[in-house]
Structure 1
Amino acid sequence: MGHAIVIGASGGIGAALADRLADSHDVTRLSRSAEGLDVTDEASIAASLAPLPPVDLAFVATGILAPEGHAPEKALDAIDADAMARIFAVDAIGPALVLKHLAPKLTETARVGVLTARVGSIGDNRMGGWYSYRAAKAAANQIVHGAAIEIGRKRKNSVVVALHPGTVETPFTEGYKAKKVTAAQAAENLIGVLTGLDPSETGGFFDYAGERIEW
């Protein structure tokens, strides 16, 4: 039985991923609310990941849509520098620091999925708005792509990718009218995609159905 880790395991998708992976892996669950992991604090990340055994499968399922008291911007004049910096700290720098400390723990055939979002695609952006969230997720995609190249030099059979989970029924998406899937179904989809990818596809950006998303 291999070892899996879920960063953000107290969230809707993260909890469902951890529960599903427990059927086939020993699972380490890490989150801010339960274990005190703060992805904006490198010391917290280092301390949380240091005790890990070799990791075969990892999901980074952290992120915020906007800081408390704020909402995604509908126009340029709604941009707030402090709010934007907070979103980048959680949604882009956080995953980068997790990958930094997770990389030495990965096995030769490790699979790593970082949950970003389709709205982070520059080519797919036809509506504008949501400046901070879109930009942070685009930055996270670039970080994942670069990390996949570096990790792949030492672990040629590894896969490190950005994943779009779709719109999932969680408190995060309350109030959005898009068609939603349950967290359990999203977890099943994401695990299926990540474990089904070939090492030649590392560094890519895929949706919950395994289809590539343009950058």
Structure 2
Amino acid sequence: MKLIPGLAGQANVLLCGASQGIGLALCTALLARDDVRQVWAVSRQASSNDALLALARQHAGRVALVDCDARDEQALAALARQVGHGSEHLHLVVSTLGILHQEASKAEKSLAQLDLAGLQASFTTNAFAPLLLLKHLLPLLRRQPATFAALSARVGSISDNRLGGWYSYRASKAALNQLLHTASIELKRLNPAATVLAVHPGTTDTRLSRPFQGNVPAGKLFTPAFAAQCLIELVGRLGPAESGSFWGWDGQRIEW
């Protein structure tokens, strides 16, 4: 299967949130493919991350490690300039940015646990940073074909919310879904071969899910490698006709 629909040659790929979990697994899986020319691995401390440094040594010349805090718009502008110097076009951009219970954000169980700092932290990382990443990389996505995918979460589905709780995480992922859907409409006018996707990787054994894994049904806690492979299959199958939609790891569309 092609990395993305319509790809004729090798791809230039950028992964934001590349230093751990699903992001790191995506880096590893994509670098194993012959149709990937270059991977830009982006995180706050990418250049000093042991796992990314090992990948860079193993795949000499195919990996660029870029330090960037995606919550800082000036840093995102600098990232876009740096990538633009090395590549005229990005075929695939994946954002794995997301927080649930760290850096002031909280998995609130009740209204009483809400506070402004937690809400702002959740929305900044989960919704605003991926969209601003797309904004600054837009000049590199104008040629055909191009896919921008961001990790969302099933709990961001309003129609699927029957349990309540997790106010800021749910709301910020719902906001991300709306922002991506809106961006897909604009991007379709700029590049009819462009695809924008919100994707749910399933409950994966990462730092984000670790405090809540006790409630995960047997067989439903995925390894980062499995989640990464499911996501790669999704972006390989979903093209411009599905731009602006929300999909689960299992290939099923998720309702808003």
Q: TM-score by structure 1 length? A: 0.96
Mapped contact 2:103–2:121 kept (Cα < 8 A): no
**Cα deviation, residue 19, structure 1:** 1.1
Give the match's secondary structure for 2:91: strand
Task: Decide which structure has the larger Cα Rg and report it.
Answer: 2
Mapped to 1, the partners of 2:72 and 2:248 lie a distance apart of: 29
Q: Distance in 1 between matches of 2:12 and 2:201?
A: 22
* Count of matched residue positions in the alignment of Structure 1 and Structure 2: 215
Change (3 A) 1:98 1:70: closer
Q: What does 1:18-33 align with in structure 2 at a 5 Å threshold?
A: 18-22=27-31, 23=33, 24-25=35-36, 26-33=38-45
Aligned pairs for 1:54-93 (under 5 A) are: 54-68=89-103, 71-93=106-128
Q: Which amino acid aligns with 1:38?
A: D
CA RMSD of aligned residues (A): 1.2
**Displacement after TM superposition at 1:71 (Å):** 3.1
* Inter-partner Cα distance in structure 2 for 1:71 and 1:147: 28
Q: Matched residues in 2 for 1:42 and 1:69: separation?
A: 20
Partner of 2:147: 111
Residue of structure 1 aligned with 2:249, choices 202, 208, 211: 208
Unaligned runs of 5+ in 2: 1-9, 47-65
State which of 219, 229, 236 in structure 2 corresponds to 1:195: 236
Select which of 50, 71, 85 maps to 1:40.
71
Q: Is contact 1:67-1:87 (8 Å) kept?
A: no
Distance in 2 (CA, whole Å) between partners of 1:144 and 1:128 is 23
State the partner residue of 1:8. 17
Tell me how far 1:129 sits from its aligned partner. Answer: 0.7
C-alpha displacement of 1:69:
6.0
CA drift of 1:51 comes to: 2.2
Equivalence for 1:184:
225
Whether the 8 Å contact between 1:113 and 1:163 is mirrored in structure 2 is: yes
The secondary structure found in structure 2 opposite 1:13 is helix
- Measured after TM superposition, the shift of residue 68 of structure 1 is 3.5
| Counterparts of 1:18 and 1:103, CA distance in 2 | 21
CA displacement 1:59-92 (0-9 Å, x = unmatched):
0011111333653000111101111111111111
Report the Cα distance in structure 2 between the residues aligned to 1:88 and 1:69, rounded to whole angstroms.
11
Deviation at 1:187?
Answer: 0.5
Following TM superposition, the consecutive aligned residue runs of length 4 or more in structure 1 with deviations greater than 6 angstroms are: none
Residues 1:136 and 2:172 are matched in the alignment: yes
Q: Secondary structure of the equivalent of 2:175?
A: helix
Give secondary structure in 2 for the equivalent of 1:103: helix
Contact 2:197 2:245 in 1 (8 A): yes
Contact 1:111–1:195 (CA under 8 A) maintained in structure 2: no
Distance 1:69 1:112, change over 3 A: closer
Provide the secondary structure at the position in 2 that maps to 1:50: helix
Please report how far the alpha carbon of residue 198 of structure 1 lies from its aligned counterpart in structure 2 after TM superposition: 2.7
- Give the distance between the partners of 2:168 and 2:131, measured in 1 at CA: 17
Aligned to 1:17: 26
- Structure 1: any 5+ residue segments left out of the alignment? none
Q: Which residue of 2 aligns with 1:50?
A: 81
Q: Is the 8 A contact 1:122 1:138 kept in 2?
A: yes
Structure 1 residues 134 and 123: CA distance shift in structure 2, 3 A: same
Whether the aligned pair in 2 keeps the contact of 1:9 and 1:29 (CA below 8 Å) is yes
